Amino acid sequence: MTLITDRRALTFAFPDLGSDARLHVTFRRTPRTADLDDLPRLTSDTTLPLAQGSPTGDADAVLPMWQSEAMWIDFSSPHLHPFLVMIGVDGVNAITGTPFTGEPDFDADDYIEVPTQQALATHRRPYGDLRQFVPPSVHVGPDAASQGHLLQFTVTPMRAEAWARRRHHAADRPDCVLCDISRAERMRAVPRATPSRVLGPLESPDTWQPSLSRSGAVLVVNSATWRELTGGSPRHHPLTSTDYDAHRLRWHPTYSETPMLSSPI
């Protein structure tokens, strides 16, 4: 497996399975919202840039974010090669809220299948509610959490023999799953408000090849931590109250980069 990072994507490539076996992971910016019912109508105006490596050594890339922005994670398999993808946020499985192990629990359905599911807009907190992917707050004192959120990915490709059969699908068959996936891929469906699959698992456990599973990680930091690391600000511009007005969303004071005081001076 080859893990490639550039300014736009984290790419998992499996050359032993051929050039088809390639998964791109990108991070699309969107406004923050306290009401997850708003998610389906939110749009993205840019792909957030990545920086290779991390100061902690436990990530393959760093993703700087402003307080005013959230993001969804976009998964793309250009040749429709299927992958099983597990996502962790600070050691918590993003789908179930249970501890992240990197090994799929097929009974708990704690993973997503790409390209069937193309985006993840929320993650589940430990055994709790759903939250958008947002940066650590700049309005709290320094602690472990403020230094960054660690996003973990474990990617398992489809077995070579299964993909060899699947790729030669008949486009005129009414039950052609890959045709439906291809159409969805072209349409680039909006991110779902909940991280669990709507259709349920399409593939049986023996479809996947766990011996080829590989992992990668991205450290999400806020602008203050990024400034400590690089001496500068994130290269992209933050969202403003005007942008929130355009989306008919409430602007909250905590979305500002200005430190908030607990009492007046």
- 202-231 in b/e form (b: 16+ CB < 10 A) is ebeeebbbeebbbebbbbbbbbbbbeebee
Residue with tokens 């004071």: 253
**What amino acid is encoded at 102 in this protein?**
G
- What confidence score (pLDDT) does residue 72 get? 92
Q: Give which of 96, 98, 100, 198 is closest to 153, Cα–Cα.
A: 100
> What confidence tens digit (pLDDT) does each residue in 198-253 have?
445 678 899 999 999 999 999 999 999 999 888 999 989 999 999 999 989 999 99
Taking 80 as the threshold, does the pLDDT of residue 189 lie above it? no
H helices of the chain, in order, are 160-166, 177-187, 223-230, 241-246
Per residue in 98-142, pLDDT (tens digit) is 999 999 999 888 999 988 888 899 999 997 888 999 999 988 766
Q: Is 152 left (phi over 0), alpha (psi -120 to 50) or beta?
A: beta
**What average pLDDT does range 164-187 have in this prediction?**
55
pLDDT band for position 180 (cuts 50, 70, 90):
low
Q: What is the DSSP letter of 205?
A: G
Using CA atoms, how far apart are residues 66 and 55, in angstroms rounded to an integer?
19
Give the CA dihedral 16, 22, 23, 24, nearest 10 degrees: 130
- Ramachandran bin of 41, using left for φ above 0, alpha for ψ from -120 to 50, beta for the remaining angles: alpha
**Tokens describing residue 249:** 């969303």
Are 185 and 113 in contact by the 8 Å Cβ rule? The answer is: no
Enter the tokens of residue 230.
């690089």
Question: What's the number of CA atoms in the CB half-sphere (13 Å) around residue 25?
Answer: 26
